[in-house]
Amino acid sequence: MCAARAGGDSTITMQTVSFTLNGKPVAAMVGPVDSLRDVLREKLHVYSVKAGCGQGGCGSCTVLVSGDPIVSCLMPARVAEGLEIITLEGIGTPAQLHPLQQAFYDNFAAQCGFCTAGMITVAKALLDRNARRSWRRSPGTSAAARATCPSSALCRMRRPA
Ligand code: FES
């Protein structure tokens, strides 16, 4: 931890946060209000994590934190210490797409592409938790639920009722 002057009389305390990013150990200096999204993009150069609304509403910055889908714009980077973070880059690669990525590609589901990483990340978490279920076969799933984007993203994707 270190203290650095940031203009005027205010002092900002910086600290090193270390975590696992897509299977590799990483570390970054972060301030007390730096979001995980901004650290991933600006310090670790992970650009699949999009800077959208910054308010937790669009889902385009979603990452997996120890398996849970989290909107990284609302997560302080300093609390990532010791956690496992997975972004789209950790789900598949251009040479070896994850089946979800392949399905998005095959079905032209990317739309404009801005929030696609968030949609795939949330879909992966959903499928990991419900490995034996499918949205279409689940008898308790209402038409309204099927029509709602799983990432709650700004999404125009609709499933057949
Ligand atoms: S940028 Fe994080 S939810 Fe929109």
Ligand 1 pocket, 118 CB below 6 A?
no
Report residue 135's pLDDT band, with 50, 70 and 90 as the boundaries.
very low
CATH number reported for the structural domain that contains residue 102 in this entry: 3.10.20.30
For residue 151, being part of any structural domain is answered with no
For residue 25, being part of any structural domain is answered with yes
Which stretches within the chain are classed as H helix?
A: 36-38, 88-91, 99-106, 116-129, 143-146
For residue 152, being part of any structural domain is answered with no
Pocket perturbation via mutation, ligand 1, pick of 38, 61, 87, 121 by most ligand atoms within 8 A of CB:
61
Could you identify the atom of ligand 1 that is nearest to the CA of residue 59?
3
Determine how many CB atoms are found less than 10 A away from the CB of residue 158: 10
State the residue range of the domain holding 58.
2-146
pLDDT tens digit string along 29-75? 999 999 999 999 999 999 999 999 999 999 999 999 999 999 999 99
For residue 47, being part of any structural domain is answered with yes
- Supply 81's token pair: 């210490």
For residue 157, being part of any structural domain is answered with no
Q: Give the 3-state secondary structure of residue 20.
A: strand
Determine how many CB atoms are found less than 10 A away from the CB of residue 20: 16
Close Cβ partners of 44 (under 8 Å, ≥ 6 residues apart): 21, 26, 28
Torsion of CA 129, 135, 137, 140, to 10 degrees: 90
For residue 89, being part of any structural domain is answered with yes
Ligand 1 pocket, 154 CB below 6 A?
no
**pLDDT at position 9, please?**
58
On whether the CB atoms of residues 117 and 50 are closer than 8 A, the answer is yes
**pLDDT at position 160, please?**
45
Query: Tell me, what DSSP letter sits at residue 76?
Result: B
Could you identify the atom of ligand 1 that is nearest to the CA of residue 58?
4
Is the pLDDT higher at 120 or at 161?
Answer: 120
- Supply 92's token pair: 């598949």
Report how many domains make up the chain: 1
